[in-house]
């Protein structure tokens, strides 16, 4: 039985367990039909031309991991930003871990999707927001059909959330292969501000496939800073589907730090539904071996006077492959749009590959849109310059790579987070540089 | 200190240096002059260890040790410094962080601990004052958007920080106005001692009024064709290089 069939038959079992008389039940049923019809995407589709799921779909994934696994905080502390106080919503093999989490209902909700989906007091919000940003593509639909657990965050208006919120999904690898489908819903009301850090982490080397959907609603003048840390083990694959709907004068930024796993696909979508909106998409990708990272972004400019800023840096070593496909749509009504896109890449090895493709569809006539991509090698003259000052080859390379990523790193607003990323990069490059950029 | 014997070097199979002999002793200042394309910068790069250049014959000895096979950073650790004709811009790395890394990597190679932050700051302050460098300048990205003069002054600042045994100044005077030239030369002179040596590569006599050489060599077609004292530099300034070319070609 292939994975698609397995999922379809599992759905029948799954859906019988849940309340069938709800809005969400109907949404799930519609979604499974879409997945059944479309199936997993293949390279024949334009958006998947450079990323093949074939290999990772061959594993015999357990779709509903059985037992809940206890993990001690000290063993996984390193996967958290632990030197500052944060809210935490933690899952182990898809199940909520109360002892690792720190949630709140004090003036806002930082809690669980399963609670939000089942308790009557959340019903109106769920009906207003759940699956209202996600598109009807096959993988998001698959997630929707199985959506039952994840983070649920609702920040009411005029609230500045002081502590960042960490959403961490662990997989223990207790099953020989695990498929996870977390579903996050984040609603930030008028004038509020929140910072969110998301991480997926497997704790051993058994294959894991995560097909995640996150919906973010940034209402009027709200600010959302979202950070994604992707630094998973070599058999863990992630398909991250993130949909951000913005209302007028809101600012949403997503930083994606893609340091690999086996295969990572980021489908990052921004929809601007209002004037004077700012959308910021930034990323640093540093991978090696046979890792594959694909950034597939969409910014949909629907109304006038909005901006979007995309800046993705990639460093590819060994036989790794990268993809950047940045789509910007500017509707006819969206006059005075400023849309910028940059994708710069360094290939460190002859066997590494990057496919980069800007895709601009502009229907308005009074806009400023720019895009630029570069692919190069480390600057040899800079290398000699640094080495002639006594900086060894490896450290000089690392310094150049830091410098290359610095534009993106410098816009991270949580200092501890920036330090952590700097350390991960240093570890990845096998150097110990005695300062933070 | 530096002993170059019958050095031949080429880049991409093009032979550039064709038998250089040069000895520089501690405490000496040597000037290397010569027309464009004679191989001056190549000689500087080969001594500093640029990998694109292949040494095909001869050798370079530094303090009694063959250094031809050493990597650029290893030569730097032993005390070789090259002030670049065209310093490279490195966006995203500040002057201060670059210097900290260079100094601590050099110390590491010498088996020393990192320099304490306090000492580092003191050293940076001292040396930036010597070169009349504004403190704000030190937090800027290395060479990025620097004027020609700022780049050269920054090179000598790095030299002052690293205190090399042998400093090779590759056309440090080009792009400098007279005030900057004076500051740079003053910096070099203050750093000079009986234990170190300086090789000045230049087209013009001008810099040599400030950094006075003990010996002047003329490089032409990849060979040192004439050596003398500082009077030779004056003669070249007056008469140009044509008479040298004629002598050689005769």
Phi, psi torsion values for B194, nearest 5 degrees: -75, -10
Give the gap in angstroms from C-alpha A352 to the nearest C-alpha of chain B.
Answer: 23
Which of 183-242 (B) contact A at CB < 8 A? none
A433: confidence class by pLDDT, cuts 50, 70, 90: low
Which of 27-56 (B) contact A at CB < 8 A? 45, 48-52
Mean pLDDT (10-residue bins), chain B, 250 residues: 96 93 96 92 96 94 95 97 95 91 94 94 94 90 92 95 96 88 92 95 90 95 94 90 87
The pLDDT tens digits of the residues spanning A241-286 come to 999 999 999 999 999 999 989 999 999 999 999 999 999 999 999 9
CB-based contact A314:A281 (threshold 8 Å):
no
The pLDDT tens digits of the residues spanning A162-189 come to 999 999 999 998 888 999 999 999 999 9
Query: What superfamily in CATH does domain B26-47+79-249 come from?
Result: P-loop containing nucleotide triphosphate hydrolases (3.40.50.300)
A435: confidence class by pLDDT, cuts 50, 70, 90: very low
Residues 6+ apart with CB under 8 A from A206: A173, A175, A176, A177, A178, A235
Q: List the domain boundaries for chain B.
A: 26-47+79-249
CB-based contact B93:A403 (threshold 8 Å):
yes
A384: which chain B residues are within 8 Å (Cβ-Cβ)? Answer: 45, 48, 50-51, 72
The helix (H) or strand (E) run that includes residue B93 is strand B90-94
Give the gap in angstroms from C-alpha A397 to the nearest C-alpha of chain B.
Answer: 12
Q: State the Cα–Cα distance between residues A401 and A396, nearest whole angstrom.
A: 9
Report the residue of B78, B83, B87, B101 to disrupt the A interface, i.e. the one with the largest count of A CBs within 10 Å: B101
CB-based contact A35:A142 (threshold 8 Å):
yes
Q: Following DSSP, what letter does each residue of A361-407 receive, concatenated?
A: EE--SS-EEEEEEEEE---HHHHHHHHTTT--HHHHHHHHHHHHHHH
The pLDDT tens digits of the residues spanning B81-99 come to 999 999 999 988 899 999 9
A2 touches chain B (CB under 8 A): no
CB-based contact A168:A90 (threshold 8 Å):
yes
ipTM for the whole complex: 0.96
- Cβ pair A391:B114 closer than 8 A: no
Q: State the Cα–Cα distance between residues B8 and A20, nearest whole angstrom.
A: 85
Report the residue of A389, A398, A405, A410 to disrupt the B interface, i.e. the one with the largest count of B CBs within 10 Å: A389
B100 touches chain A (CB under 8 A): yes
pTM for the full model? 0.87
Give the gap in angstroms from C-alpha A211 to the nearest C-alpha of chain B.
Answer: 35
The pLDDT tens digits of the residues spanning A42-81 come to 999 999 999 999 999 999 999 887 766 678 899 899 999 9
A429: confidence class by pLDDT, cuts 50, 70, 90: confident
- Cβ pair B90:A403 closer than 8 A: yes
The residue of chain A with its CA nearest to that of B48 is A388
Per-residue confidence (pLDDT) for residue A55, from 0 to 100: 93
Whether the per-residue pLDDT at A338 is higher than 50: the answer is yes
> Mean pLDDT score of chain A, rounded to an integer?
93
- Cβ pair A391:B51 closer than 8 A: no
A388: which chain B residues are within 8 Å (Cβ-Cβ)? Answer: 48-50, 72-73, 75-76, 81-82, 84
């Amino acid at each position: 039985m292939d994975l698609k069939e397995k999922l379809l038959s599992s759905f029948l079992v799954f859906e019988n367990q849940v309340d069938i008389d709800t809005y969400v039940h109907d949404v799930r049923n519609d979604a499974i039909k879409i997945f059944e019809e479309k199936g997993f995407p293949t390279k024949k589709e334009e958006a998947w031309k450079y990323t093949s799921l074939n290999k990772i779909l061959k594993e015999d994934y357990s779709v509903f991991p059985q037992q809940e696994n206890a993990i001690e905080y000290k063993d996984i502390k390193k996967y958290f930003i632990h030197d500052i106080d944060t809210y935490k919503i933690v899952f182990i093999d898809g199940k909520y871990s109360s002892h690792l989490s720190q949630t709140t209902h004090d003036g806002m909700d930082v809690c669980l999707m399963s609670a939000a989906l089942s308790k009557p007091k959340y019903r109106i919000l769920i009906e207003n927001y759940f699956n209202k940003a996600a598109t009807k593509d096959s993988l998001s639909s698959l997630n929707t059909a199985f959506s039952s657990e994840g983070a649920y965050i609702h920040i009411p208006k005029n609230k500045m959330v002081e502590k960042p919120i960490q959403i961490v999904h662990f997989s223990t690898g207790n099953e020989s292969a695990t498929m996870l489908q977390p579903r996050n819903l984040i609603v930030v009301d008028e004038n509020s501000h929140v910072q969110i850090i998301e991480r997926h982490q497997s704790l051993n080397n058994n294959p894991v496939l995560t097909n995640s959907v996150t919906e973010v609603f940034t209402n009027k003048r709200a600010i959302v800073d979202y950070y994604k840390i992707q630094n998973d083990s070599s058999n863990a694959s992630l398909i991250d589907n993130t949909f951000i709907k913005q209302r007028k004068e809101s600012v949403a930024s997503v930083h994606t730090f893609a340091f690999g796993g086996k295969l990572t696909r980021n489908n990052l979508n921004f929809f601007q539904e209002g004037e004077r909106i700012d959308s910021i998409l930034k990323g640093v990708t540093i991978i090696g071996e046979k890792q594959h990272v694909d950034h597939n972004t969409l910014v949909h400019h629907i109304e006038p006077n909005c901006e979007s800023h995309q800046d993705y840096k990639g460093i590819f070593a060994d036989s790794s492959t990268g993809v950047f496909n940045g789509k910007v749509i500017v509707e006819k009504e969206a006059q005075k749009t400023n849309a910028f896109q940059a994708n710069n890449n360094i290939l460190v090895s002859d066997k590494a590959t990057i496919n980069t493709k800007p895709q601009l569809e502009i229907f308005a006539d009074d806009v400023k849109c720019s895009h630029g991509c570069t692919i190069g090698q480390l600057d040899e003259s800079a290398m000699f310059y640094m080495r002639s000052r006594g900086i060894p080859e490896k450290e000089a390379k690392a310094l150049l790579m830091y410098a290359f990523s610095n534009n993106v790193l410098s816009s991270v607003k949580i200092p501890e987070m920036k330090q952590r990323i700097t350390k991960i990069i240093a570890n990845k490059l096998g150097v110990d540089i005695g300062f933070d950029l | 200190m530096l002993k170059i014997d019958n050095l031949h070097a080429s880049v991409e199979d093009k032979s550039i240096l064709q038998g250089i002999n040069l000895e520089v002793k501690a405490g000496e200042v040597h000037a290397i002059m010569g027309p464009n394309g004679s191989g001056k910068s190549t000689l500087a790069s080969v001594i500093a260890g640029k990998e694109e250049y292949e040494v095909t014959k001869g050798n370079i000895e530094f303090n009694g040790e063959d250094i031809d096979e050493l990597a650029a950073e290893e030569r730097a650790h032993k005390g070789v410094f090259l002030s670049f004709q065209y310093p490279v811009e490195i966006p995203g790395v500040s002057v201060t962080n670059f210097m900290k890394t260079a100094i601590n990597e050099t110390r590491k190679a010498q088996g020393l601990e990192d320099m304490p932050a306090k000492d580092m700051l003191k050293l940076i302050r001292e040396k930036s004052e010597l070169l009349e460098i504004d403190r704000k300048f030190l937090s800027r990205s290395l060479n990025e958007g620097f004027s020609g003069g700022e780049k050269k002054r920054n090179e000598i600042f790095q030299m002052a920080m690293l205190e090399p045994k042998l400093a090779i100044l590759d056309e440090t005077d080009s792009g400098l106005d007279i005030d900057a030239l004076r500051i740079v030369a003053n910096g070099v002179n203050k750093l000079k001692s009986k234990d170190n040596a300086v090789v000045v590569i230049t087209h013009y006599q001008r810099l040599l009024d400030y950094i006075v050489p003990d010996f002047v060599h003329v490089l032409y077609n990849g060979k040192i064709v004439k050596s003398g004292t500082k009077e030779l530099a004056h003669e070249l300034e007056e008469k140009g290089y044509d008479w040298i070319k004629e002598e050689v070609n005769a």
